[in-house]
């Protein structure tokens, strides 16, 4: 159903989605108060140039996948929100280079977020649903979840751990491309953490393998590999335009349909390897 060829779509993603983190020079973060909390190094400086990367969705279909070793063989692995490793290494691996968390987790589940060891590994990135194409200042005044105090608290207690705030402009640049390539109007809500994480890794890595974002033969109504909770909306989307995200990813997949069916695995090029 996508309107552009896979090649053109990759070029649109490369050229129109500006993946950046908030920096100390960005207003309203350019105050002396904020300087002490902003990470000292940029994300690029922190990770360096990455080769093969894995993005691990939190889908229930990862259960019994035995993908752990394959996932850990990558140079870098991105995981989402509270997705655990302990007890699930066989299926999801244990390497965690980046953990992308939403602002709801950082505020509503603040106590766990500040206390659980899970979050102390790797680089953290938090994102928050911003108003459509809002300037950073406008978003800062009315974030979806006011996670800023919790962010400061975490930074104070873990000053050595890199922890970035995703520039909110990215989500709507990506949403516009999703909408332009869908035949129907899509939800006016930002893309899921999954889709954001995929595009973040495409900017950092030479090649990206995504696991169980497009469901394999193990597809299930069980929401997460780490919980016994059933909800079809987890796979198809309700708030997030997840179905449209998945159609787009299917369209630009450079791997085989068999890889999707057997392993829930998609292969995407890093933007460095996209030539327009
Ligand atoms: O569930 P969640 O997502 O943390 O999952 C991370 C990403 O994995 C992909 N996924 C997940 C389950 C599934 N069956 N299929 C999938 O493809 C999706 O791409 C998803 O983005 C989120 O996107 O941040 C989300 O976060 C949760 C929740 O806030 C966090 O887990 C923290 O507790 C949201 N759930 C609720 O609000 C109840 C979810 O809607 C979106």
pLDDT by residue (tens digit) across 47-70? 999 999 999 999 999 999 999 999
To test the ligand 1 pocket, which listed residue (55, 63, 80) has its Cβ within 8 A of the most ligand atoms?
A: 80
User: 259 pLDDT band (50/70/90 cuts)?
Assistant: very high
pLDDT at 1 over 90: no
Shortest-distance atom of ligand 1 to CA 222: 14
Shortest-distance atom of ligand 1 to CA 237: 40
- Atom 37 of ligand 1, nearest CA residue: 104
- Atom 32 of ligand 1, nearest CA residue: 105
- Atom 7 of ligand 1, nearest CA residue: 194
User: Cβ of 260: how many Cβ atoms within 10 Å?
Assistant: 22
Parallel, antiparallel or unpaired: strands 205-211 and 50-56: parallel
**Angstrom distance (rounded) from CA 201 to CA 211:** 13
Q: Tell me phi and psi for residue 100, to 5 degrees.
A: -95, 120
State the pLDDT at residue 86.
97
Determine contact, residues 47/75, Cβ cutoff 8 Å.
Answer: no
Percent of the chain with pLDDT over 70: 99
Percent of the chain with pLDDT over 90: 97
Shortest-distance atom of ligand 1 to CA 213: 17
pLDDT (mean) for 126-142 = 97
Read off the pLDDT of residues 162-215 as tens digits, 9 standing for 90 and up: 999 999 999 999 999 999 999 999 999 999 999 999 999 999 999 999 999 999
How many angstroms does the Cα of residue 275 sit away from the middle of ligand 1? 32
- Atom 18 of ligand 1, nearest CA residue: 194
- Determine the straight-line distance between the first and last CA of the chain, rounded to whole angstroms: 22
ipTM: 0.99
- Atom 30 of ligand 1, nearest CA residue: 81
User: 250 pLDDT band (50/70/90 cuts)?
Assistant: very high
To test the ligand 1 pocket, which listed residue (174, 194, 228) has its Cβ within 8 A of the most ligand atoms?
A: 194
User: Cβ of 31: how many Cβ atoms within 10 Å?
Assistant: 9
State the pLDDT at residue 228.
92
pLDDT (mean) for 243-268 = 98
Burial class (CB in 10 A: 0-12, 13-18, 19+), 96: buried
User: 3 pLDDT band (50/70/90 cuts)?
Assistant: confident
pLDDT at 42 over 60: yes
Parallel, antiparallel or unpaired: strands 265-269 and 205-211: antiparallel
Average pLDDT, the chain: 97
Per DSSP, the residues of the chain read --SS-HHHHHHHHHHH----B--TTSTTS-SHHHHTTS-SS-HHHHH--EEEEEEE--BGGGTT---HHHHHTSSEEEEETT---TTTHHHH-S--SEEEEEHHHHHHTHHHHHH-GGGGSSEEEEE-PPSTT--HHHHHHS-SS--HHHHHHHHHH-TTS-EEEB-THHHHHHHHHHHHT-SSPPPSSPPPHHHHHHHHHHHHEEEEEEESSS--TT--SB-BTT---B-THHHH-SSS-HHHHHHHHHHH--S-HHHHHHH-EEEEE-GGG---
Entry pTM? 0.98
The conformational region for residue 23 under phi > 0 = left, psi -120 to 50 = alpha, else beta, is: beta
Read off the pLDDT of residues 204-225 as tens digits, 9 standing for 90 and up: 999 999 999 999 999 999 999 9
Question: Interhelix angle for 193-204 vs 242-252, to 10°?
Answer: 30
């Amino acid at each position: 159903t996508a309107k552009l060829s896979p090649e053109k779509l990759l070029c649109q993603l490369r050229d129109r989605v500006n993946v950046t983190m908030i920096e100390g020079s960005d207003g309203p973060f350019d105050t002396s108060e904020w300087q002490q909390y902003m990470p000292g190094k940029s994300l690029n400086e922190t990770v360096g140039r990455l080769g093969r990367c894995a993005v691990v969705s939190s889908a229930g279909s990862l259960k019994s996948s035995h993908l752990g070793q394959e996932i850990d063989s990558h140079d870098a692995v991105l995981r989402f929100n509270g997705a655990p490793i302990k007890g699930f290494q066989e299926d999801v691996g244990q390497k965690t280079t980046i953990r992308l968390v939403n602002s709801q987790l950082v505020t509503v589940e603040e106590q766990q977020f500040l206390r659980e060891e899970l979050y102390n590994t790797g680089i953290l990135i938090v994102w928050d649903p911003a108003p459509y194409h809002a300037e950073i200042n406008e978003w800062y005044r009315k974030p979806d979840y006011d996670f800023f105090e919790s962010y400061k608290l975490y930074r104070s207690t873990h000053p050595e751990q890199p922890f970035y705030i995703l520039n909110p402009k990215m989500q709507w640049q990506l949403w516009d491309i999703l909408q332009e390539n869908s035949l129907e109007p899509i939800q006016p809500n930002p893309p899921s953490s999954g889709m954001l994480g995929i595009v973040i890794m495409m900017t950092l890595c030479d090649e990206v393998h995504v696991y169980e974002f497009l469901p394999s033969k193990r597809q299930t109504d069980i929401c997460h590999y780490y919980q016994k909770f059933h909800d079809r909306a987890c796979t198809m989307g309700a708030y997030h335009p997840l179905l449209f995200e998945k159609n787009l990813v299917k369209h630009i997949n450079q791997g085989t349909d068999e890889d999707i069916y057997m392993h829930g695995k998609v292969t995407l090029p890093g933007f460095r390897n996209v030539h327009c």
